[in-house]
Amino acid sequence: MINLYPTQIETISLHRVGNKNKSEGVFLSAEPFSLNDETTGLLKEYFFKPFREKEENYFRFTNDVDVEFNELYKIVSDIFDDPDSAHENSKRIATHLFEQSNHPHIKSGEVYVTYLTGSLLDNRKIDAVGIFKSELKHDFLQFEERGTNLDIVIQQGININKLDKGCLIFNENKEEGYKILSVDSNRYDAKYWLENFLDVEALADDNFYTKNYLKFCQNFAKDVVLPAEDKQQEVLFMNRAVNHFAKNDAFEESNFLNEVIDNPEFIPEFKHYKVEKGPKYSIEDVSNFDIANKAVSDVRKKIKNVINLDTNIQIKMDFINPESAQKFIEKGWDEERQMYYYLVYFNKEEKN
C-alpha cells in the first residue's frame, strides 16, 4: 500500500515535448526548476492526487529481449544510482518521450521529471522517480485595472486539478523491472504512454492476483450461477466470495470452494470455467497467494448487490453477512398472479 503524503520533491526538471509527426520539436531546460513552498505544495497535489484516488495496479518495465534493453529502465536506473544526475537524465527522458510522440492524435505538452524521497510503500520509506505530463490547455479569466475600468483578459493554462499523464517508478525490485504506478486521463492515445513510452506490463503481485481472482469470480457468478439459479444467488455467491477474501490473510483455492460454493454441483463447473476463462485473468495456474486487503476493498465497492425487477422495483442486498439474505428474503411463485415474488422480513423502516 502506498502513502504519498510524506513524499518530498527533491528535484524537478521541466521540458516541453511536441508532436514529432507535426515537426513541433522538443525544448529542454538547461537547469532544474527552483521550487519554493507555494509551488511545491501545488505541484505535490497536482502530481499525487490521481494516485491517491486510483486503484494500486502496479506495472513493471519489460522488453521483448531483456528488461535491460528498455530505454526508460536504463535511464531511471542511472538516476537511482546517482540522484545528482536527475536533471541531465531528465533530458534523456524528455527526448525518449518525444521519439514516441509521432501519432497525429498525440498532444504537445510540458514534461515534469522529479526525484522523490520519503514515499511509504508498505510502510517502508522508498525513493522514486516521478514523470508527469500536462497536455490539455484551458481558458481562464484574468482581470486588469485600466484607468477607471476593470478589463477581462483571457489566458490559457493547465488545470492543476487534473493530471493528464503520470507515473511513479519506485526504487524496488530493480531486477524484475521496478514497481510502477501509472495514470492516464486521456483515452485518445492509449498505447502512447503505457506501451510506447513506458513499455510496461502488469506486475503479477498479490494485489494483482487478489483483484483478478475476484473479477474472475464475478464473471463466474454472472455466466454460471445466474443462468442456473437466479439474481439473488448470484449476489449471495459474490458476497460470500468477497467475505472469504476479507477475513483471510492467504488464499487457498480448495478452502475457498468449500466455503463459498453452496451447491456442490458448481464446484466442477467452477474448475471447468477456470480452465476456459482463467488465462484472461492470468490465474489459470494460480491456487495460492497472499490476499491484498486494499484490492478486496476496491472490488467490494464496485460490486452491485442489486436485483432489478421488471416491475420497476429494485432490491438492494447490502449484507456484510450473506446468510442474512437467506434469513430475511424469500423467493416464491404466486399461482394466482402467475408471477414470482420476493418476501422481505424486517423490524422497522429506516428513516433517511
> What pLDDT tens digit does each residue of the chain (352 aa) get?
889 999 999 999 999 999 988 889 999 999 999 999 999 999 999 999 999 888 788 999 999 889 999 999 999 999 999 999 999 999 999 999 999 998 888 899 999 999 999 999 988 999 999 999 999 888 889 899 999 999 999 988 888 889 999 999 999 999 999 999 999 987 767 688 999 999 999 998 898 999 999 999 999 999 999 998 888 888 889 888 998 999 999 999 999 999 999 888 899 999 999 999 999 999 999 999 999 988 888 888 777 777 788 888 887 776 556 566 667 777 888 888 898 888 888 888 877 6
b or e along 201-224 (b: 16 or more beta carbons within 10 Å of the residue's beta carbon)? eebbbbbbbbbbbbebbbebbeeb
What's the pLDDT score for residue 190?
67
- The pLDDT score that the predictor gives to residue 352 is 64
DSSP state of 195: I
Residue 320: predicted pLDDT? 58
Pair 157, 142: CB distance under 8 Å: no
Joined grid coordinates for residue 159:
488545470
User: What is the model's pLDDT at position 324?
Assistant: 63
The separation between CA 141 and the C-alpha centre of its own chain, rounded to angstroms, equals: 34
CB-side exposure of 266: number of CA atoms within 13 Å?
21
pTM for the structure as a whole: 0.77
CB atoms within 10 A of CB 56: 18
Among residues 341, 344, 295, 284, the alpha carbon closest in space to that of 319 is found at 344
pLDDT for 346 equals 82
190 SS3 class: helix
The confidence score (pLDDT) of residue 155 equals 87
For residue 7 the three cell numbers come to 513524499
H-assigned helices in the chain: 37-53, 71-81, 86-100, 190-191, 206-220, 226-228, 231-247, 253-260, 266-277, 293-302, 323-328
Q: Are 180 and 194 a contacting pair, CB within 8 Å? A: no
Going from N- to C-terminal start, the domains of the chain cover: 2-203, 207-344
Q: From CA 178, how far away is CA 46, in angstroms rounded? A: 24
Phi, psi for residue 339 in degrees, rounded to 5: -140, 150
pLDDT value of residue 319? 54
